[in-house]
Structure 1
Amino acid sequence: MSDARVKVWDVWVRLTHWTVAGIVLFNLFGPTDALHRWLGYVAAGLAVARVLWGFVGSRHARFAAWWPTLPHLRAYLRSLAGGKPLHHVSHNPLGGAMAILLWLLILALAVSGFIMRTDAFWGEDWPQALHLWLSIAVEVCVCVHVAAALLMSLWTRENLVGAMVTGWKRVRKSAE
């Protein structure tokens, strides 16, 4: 079982990932002004574009390569519990589930931010409360995502963060 370098993440995957990461970071800690709103819409648009890319994009970007089905999730969780995580060229099932969750949260944030500013909900408190809770959920998920990427990189000796920067990943020949 030898290792090989494989091009896993195409430029569109990496560009959307890092652009959305930067926008989320800025919007979580920056001012809530017009720029915040527009960047939120850009992040939502990029999330939609990335979802579309999941149907038509490069091999490892497609949902078919990493969709987190229940059997895959169970097998992966068993491998973690056994101390020998299954290797995946693309996202592992938990990483895939987190990607989907983050995209959904970003889209929900954009929708809640938009409705906060409509006349139909003027004076209502719940859209702002929803937006706040969604932003907290994004913060928690981002922290889990980053921690998991770092911990799994150390555990598996596979530079997951580096792969999202360069697009290349060292993979075992027997990997899924």
Structure 2
Amino acid sequence: MADATHSTGMIRVWDPLVRIGHWVLVVAFATAYLTEGEPEWLHVWAGYAIAATVALRLLWGVIGPQRARFSDFVTGPGRAVAYLRDLIAGRAERHVGHSPAGGAMTVALLVTLGVTAFAGMGTLAAEEGEGPLAGIVAQIPETDGPRAYTGDHDEDEHGEHGEESAWKEVHEVAANLTLILILLHLGGVALASARHGENLARSMVTGDKRA
């Protein structure tokens, strides 16, 4: 579907689902990361919001409008690197939709956010026996039923700290990797906005970009 051109010389690029999903992920990740499980219910529901939004975005990337589809912006790593090199040099080609680097970052963030949310649900299931993965995790041989996690790292019979679950370790690593990607994403958006003379963050609010 072709982009709709407005009389103001602007075109509609980002549909409502892409824009709303983007800001839901921003708010939900910030909430989950900053709360660190306190209160637990807020942390958990922020994680569920991330999981649902990522799942919906993956589906929308296949059946959604042109600019939302992965086929419109997913390229090989070579093009993404070349675009970044040209962007730094000030000669990068402007893209109406995602640039090659922006597309790569979109995919990377969806992956790390998905892993973070999934591992978080695994942690909840392994340590408290709750959540959508409780039944699955309970069947894993290494998991001996629900294990309450107190946050105190209770010492075992040998006086050593009990090991945190593998789920929790994956959850924390993925969350920190996501944060690093977000910081790189913000830097890339700021640089691209300056190079191309447009506010890319605002376009994710209005849905419109310069024709």
TM-score bracket relative to the smaller structure? 0.7 to 0.9
Q: Which residue of 2 aligns with 1:168?
A: 208
Q: Which residue of 1 aligns with 2:34?
A: 29
For 2:24 and 2:181, the matched residues in 1 are separated by: 17
For 1:103 and 1:74, the matched residues in 2 are separated by: 19
For 1:81 and 1:26, the matched residues in 2 are separated by: 32
Residue from 58, 66, 80 that aligns with 1:59: 66
Identify the range of structure 1 (55-64 vs 81-90) with the bigger mean alpha-carbon deviation: 81-90
1:44 equivalent to 2:51? Answer yes
1:148 equivalent to 2:155? Answer no
Greater relative contact order structure (CA < 8 Å, 6+ sep): 1
1:13 equivalent to 2:40? Answer no
Partner-residue secondary structure (3-state), 2:184: helix
- Asked if structure 1 preserves the Cα contact closer than 8 Å seen for 2:81 and 2:101, the reply is no
For 1:43 and 1:114, the matched residues in 2 are separated by: 11
Tell me the TM-score normalised to structure 1 length: 0.87
Partner-residue secondary structure (3-state), 1:141: helix
Residue from 153, 156, 168 that aligns with 1:128: 168
Q: For the pair shown, which has the larger CA radius of gyration, 1 or 2?
A: 2
Gaps of at least 5 residues in structure 2 are 1-7, 127-137, 148-161
Shift of 1:151: 1.9
Identify the range of structure 1 (23-32 vs 73-82) with the bigger mean alpha-carbon deviation: 73-82
Which residue type is aligned with residue 25 of structure 2?
V
More helix by share: 1
Identify the range of structure 1 (10-19 vs 144-153) with the bigger mean alpha-carbon deviation: 144-153
Identical columns (%): 32
Q: Which residue of 2 aligns with 1:110?
A: 117
RMSD over aligned Cα, in angstroms? 2.0
For 2:180 and 2:168, the matched residues in 1 are separated by: 19
- Asked if structure 1 preserves the Cα contact closer than 8 Å seen for 2:87 and 2:195, the reply is no
Shift of 1:108: 0.6
Partner-residue secondary structure (3-state), 1:6: strand
Identify the range of structure 1 (122-131 vs 19-28) with the bigger mean alpha-carbon deviation: 122-131
1:54 and 1:86, CA in 2 relative to 1: closer, same or farther beyond 3 A? same
Which residue type is aligned with residue 199 of structure 2?
N
Gaps of at least 5 residues in structure 1 are 172-176
Tell me the TM-score normalised to structure 2 length: 0.73
- Asked if structure 1 preserves the Cα contact closer than 8 Å seen for 2:87 and 2:192, the reply is no
Shift of 1:115: 1.4
Which residue type is aligned with residue 138 of structure 1?
T
Shift of 1:78: 4.7
For 1:67 and 1:31, the matched residues in 2 are separated by: 33
Aligned residues: 169
